[in-house]
Structure 1
Amino acid sequence: MKFHKKRKDALFAALSLAVTLAVFLITAFTYKDKTPGKKSLPASIQAATKPNIVVILADDLGYTDLASYGNKIVQTPNIDALGKEGIRFTQAYSSAPICSPSRAGLLTGRYQQRFGFEFLVPQNTGQKPSPEQMQKLLAFQAKVGSSREPGIDEEAFNKIGKGLPESEISLAKLLKQNGYKTAIIGKWHVGETEGFYPQQRGFDYHYGFYSGLTLYSPESDPSVVDKHLPWALSESAAWHRNGSNRLVRNNQDVDEKQYLTDKFADEAIAYIEQNKTNPFFLYLPFNAPHDPFQAKQSDFDKYPNVSDSTKRVYYGMITGLDNAVGRIHQKLKDLGLDKNTIIVFTSDNGGATYTRGTDNAPLRGGKLSHFEGGYSVPYFIKYPGKITAGKEYTLPVSNLDIFPTVAAAAGVKLPTDREYDGVNLLPFLNNQKQGAPHETLYWRSGYSKAIRKGDYKLYINERNGKQLLFNLAKDRSETKDLCAEHPEKVKELLADLKTWESKLQTPTWPHRTNSTIEVNGEKYFFPI
């Protein structure tokens, strides 16, 4: 009896193993995605494939706008969770203190000045302004402290192709060439005209807009609180969806009524669901909390004790962004994809102090300045099983590092026909490499420049006639100028900056506007 029972148990075990193997093989080889004739694996089996890549980019989110970076008012549990489940960086920089150039750097892993992308891509309204409109624009610019650069030939300027040049290899193009599905959902802002669209730079899919800003919701929406900013330099361009401000899906116009931060989250969730069986690169450049200042009433109501309505709307917009990030993160978890996904979250530049929504304190200055508040950004990387969760990384890093870091995670080699300025951070985060990823970091926007080497930073504004030296290890708030105390350090940094500048390309298009930004009671020029 015992013999027969053992044989019966063995036969049953063998049969169970055969059934399990058959189910696996049938699933693996017959499960199909929506691509005709293509076979792919379900989400539960995808853990053995290349990692998914999600890069979330906030817009004008300041270094101290999140709870995890010291904000005592705004609660951002979902964004902060990326740091708890990954790594939070305390000295992270964008490659420019303004939208367009920093995005070009992020997407290429190269200083954008190497390929002439030094200044903002100007908004394409789709029509030539009338003399009366131009007069109003100039009057408004004078009111908010900006002016046109003299000597610009407008007709010649308009003929210049402005955007990410075709000669550059975007992160999307590189990953697409290596088997990834690629999508951008949100703000593009590295080219607003034919020849510079996302689908022409490696993205399979795009939902969003081309310019620097657009409405979050029609002004008539009763569920949204609007706050106009007559003191802000972008106010005149913000409150419409004309030209490159319009919403598109794969270059087809979309009439969208839903609050845009929520809509971008919905689009991202749908894209993840549709591509759960393929390795994908999802680039999510939200426009929050860039102006126009529009917050959902429900988010605005979370801050009843904030008496300043400008700040209250701004905080509500950040809350909306945090909710969107949380929903996207949860979708990855629900599908079992989060353990095989590298998530990066950062901002394109520092907080825009000119909106009066934020001040970046204790950092000096903000967007449109080369002080620390202008390009210091929150920065998180989550990569389960590959980097230790819950750590802080305190050495300087850059948004240029995103390109080589995610390429390394995907097992993709960088092209060898060009120089990359970004660094693969993974060996540094895993203690496989010692020291700092960057000995020196550089910034330049025409006559406004900066260089950081070790703990020392030199700020230069040729138009203001300013040259300031700071020791950031002792004085991150940039309160004490050390030029007189360390003339040899000034000389060293000037020489290094000059050497770097000698490798750069002449800007493809000139700056057309000069803005003045008030920093600690003093006005500084900045070219746009």
Structure 2
Amino acid sequence: MIKMKKFLPLLLSIVCLSAAGQKKPNIVLLFADDAGYADFGFHGSTEMKTPNLDRLAKQSVRATQAYVSDPTCGPSRAGLLTGKYQQRFGYEENNVPGFMSPVSAADGLEMGLPLEEKTIADYLKKVGYTSAIFGKWHQGGADRFHPLKRGFDTFAGFRGGARSFFAYPKPPADPQNKFEYGFNNFQEPQKYLTDLLADEAVKFISENKEKPFFAYVAFNAVHTPMEATEEDLAQFPNLKGDRKVAAAMMLAMDRACGKILDHLDKEGLTENTIVIFTNDNGGPIEHNASINAPLAGAKASHLEGGIRVPFLIKWPGHLTANTTYDLPISTLDFLPTFYAVGGGNSKELTDLDGVDIMPFLSGKEEARPHEIMYWKKDARCVVREGDWKFIRYPDRPAELFRIDKDRSEQVNLATQYPDRIKEMYKMAFDWEVTLERPRWMLQKKYEQLDIELMDRYRHP
């Protein structure tokens, strides 16, 4: 018989290990802005230097068909934050209107992510998480839309969609792009913004390491303006123009990601932290010299180069490192996935379009996470059913592609499959009639510009 004095330490050890195994995982979402699909070492780039993200890729599952819910910044983020197609609550046409924005609705700061919509931070708060956002919010400039009023506990960033990476000598024309710590505490950054965001994330992690946290690091790199430090530019002597600046901006973002990853190691948190890296939409080739090959299209288009994004996810002990997942997933899936791993009851999530993707990524579930996926802007609408992709346009006949065989969308099968075209036209309309009307719309000339841009980059 084992004496109790000898058995007690063993029992306590088992209890402690069990408790540690049941601890809620921390979640760190590293979110790039306007990066090109091909502009990462783990996607084969030889021009860009992304050693930290390449290291993360070797520790992660890399999803080869990861999608955003819109090919532009603001709507994409609205889908991510709510787990719902943003068109369902009228956030369709484009970004939240900025200062003097050319839209056919109320301008300025008075529009944003509707207050009745719960965010990912709202849900995580219910299961005991502390949440922070660092960087770009882009969900409304008025105080009522502020991150600290939408479930987040910490904010260091800007409310708008784009700002300088350096301190403004005087307040910017759009008040949404002033840098803010907390609520209405505006202070311009005292160092290159991408590096500052990493510093703020590291500080948050240190201050909250004893409890489960969610850190949403929403970099504004490599979105315009094209600005980099002289030290980073010097690392690319063989590149020129915007491509050189984009490479330097990417290097800074990679460095920032590395700093956050290294700090998780330092604090002993790596084994119990889910880390995701992805991007908000395809690269806007004309604006930041990004490359989306082998995908056709660019930001604002519904070709794959506009909506398919790089995606890495690491969770030690739960997901197999250095593997790929090849079925379509979406950033709509973040909310239900994070809620489930945090201990939430998935039966409460009755009005979402995302799904918990952990069973799929881990191999426990072999079916597709999404049999049907949708995208929409104005008269354009996209339906993906299985590997069929249907695109409806305002100025030409619809197109049909088999994405599993033609990811570059070069072979239009519409005339070969007229019955499928008719069926998917109907699927698009049946979905559209369930949506709210857009709360704001760009002037029509901008839709023409998007179509012209798509044609310009029709071939990767």
Moved more, 325-334 or 430-439: 430-439
1:340 corresponds to: 272
- Kindly provide the amino acid, as one letter, of the partner of residue 115 in structure 2: E
Q: Superposition RMSD on alpha carbons, in Å?
A: 2.8
Question: Which protein has the larger Cα radius of gyration, Structure 1 or Structure 2?
Answer: 1
Between the aligned partners of 1:195 and 1:17, the Cα distance in structure 2 is 53
> Which of these residues, 269, 274, 289, is aligned with residue 202 of structure 2?
269
Does structure 2 conserve the Cα–Cα contact (< 8 Å) formed by 1:61 and 1:289?
Answer: yes
Superposed structure 1 runs of 4+ greater than 6 Å apart: none
Name the amino acid aligned to 2:188: D
| Residue 188 of structure 2 corresponds to residue 255 of structure 1 | yes
* 1:426 and 2:358 matched: yes
- For 1:509, the equivalent position in structure 2 comes to 440
Correspondence for 1:37: none
| CA distance, structure 1, for counterparts of residue 209 and residue 65 of structure 2 | 34
Report the 3-state secondary structure (helix = DSSP H, G, I; strand = E; otherwise coil) of the residue aligned with 2:144.
Answer: coil
Q: Which position in structure 2 is the counterpart of 1:280?
A: 213
Tell me by how many angstroms 1:123 deviates.
4.7
Note the 1:4-403 alignment, pairs <5 A.
Answer: 48-125=22-99, 152=104, 157-158=106-107, 161-218=110-167, 240=172, 242-251=174-183, 252-306=185-239, 308-403=240-335
Q: State how far apart, in whole Å, the 2-side matches of 1:256 and 1:46 are.
A: 38
Aligned-residue identity in percent? 39
Deviates more, 1:332-341 or 1:444-453: 444-453
Partner Cα distance (1:346, 1:160) in 2? 28
Change (3 A) 1:185 1:520: closer
Q: What does residue 455 of structure 1 align with?
A: 387
Shift of 1:46: 6.0
**Is the CA contact 2:98–2:107 (under 8 Å) kept in the aligned structure 1?**
no
Match of 2:414 in 1: 483
Tell me if the contact between 1:115 and 1:505 (Cα under 8 Å) persists in the aligned partners.
yes
Q: Alpha-carbon deviations, 1:169-191, whole Å to 9, x = none?
A: 11101111221111111100011
Question: How many pairs are equivalent?
Answer: 449
* Structure 1 residues 466 and 219, CA gap change in structure 2 (3 angstroms): farther
Structure 1 residue identity aligned to 2:90: G
Q: Provide the secondary structure at the position in 1 that maps to 2:87.
A: helix
Give the structure-1-normalised TM-score.
0.79
8 A contact 1:123–1:211 mirrored in 2: no
**Correspondence 1:493-504 to 2 at 5 A:** 493-504=424-435
Matched residue type, 1:115: F
SS in 2 for 1:62: coil
How far apart in 1 are the matches of 2:438 and 2:141? 18
Task: State the match for 1:231 in structure 2.
Answer: none
**Residues of 2 paired with 1:269 and 1:328: CA distance?**
6
Letter of the 2:136 partner, please give it.
K
- Give the partner amino acid of 1:480: V
Q: Separation in 2 of the partners of 1:267 and 1:160?
A: 26
Q: Retained in 1: the 8 A contact 2:111–2:140?
A: yes
Distance (Å, rounded) in 1 between the aligned partners of 2:279 and 2:347: 26
Is 1:492 aligned with 2:441? Answer: no
Residues 279-338 of structure 1 show CA distances to partners (whole Å, capped at 9, x for unaligned) of 1111111100000001122221111111x3110000110111001001101100111101
Gaps of 5+ in 1: 1-9, 29-44, 130-136, 138-147, 221-238
Letter in 2 for 1:484: T
Structure 1 residues 368, 485: CA separation in 2 closer, same or farther (over 3 Å shift)? same
The structure-2 alpha-carbon separation of the partners of 1:115 and 1:415, relative to structure 1 and needing over 3 Å to count, comes to farther
